[in-house]
Amino acid sequence: MLVLVEINSVWCAPCKQMSPWLDEIAAEMKDKVVVLKLDVEENKQIADMLQVENLPTLLLYKKGQVVWNGEGLTLKDVIVDAINKN
């Protein structure tokens, strides 16, 4: 099972735009990926540990290792392709 982590913030416009896409991916690909959304303000230690510099940041994990990442507004098709390749 893959895990897609999105580091976001309530004030981040691209985060707001991507949120429905991530919800769709979570529903449509639930047998392949778990989608987690982390607010940077509520999870500063995790964001620091992951060296998050831009919002949103996407991290796709497979067996505990990052196999793909994206920063900024990332289109749904790009995210789906990354999931399908892993």
Question: Of the listed 12, 25, 38, 82, which one is catalytic?
Answer: 12
Residue 12 falls in the annotated catalytic set: yes
CB 4 within 8 A of CB 35: yes
Question: Of the listed 15, 40, 47, 79, which one is catalytic?
Answer: 15
The helix, strand and coil proportions of the chain, stated in percent and rounded to the nearest 5, come to: 35, 30, 30
Question: What six digits make up the tokens of 65?
Answer: 């290792």
Active site (catalytic) residues: 12, 15
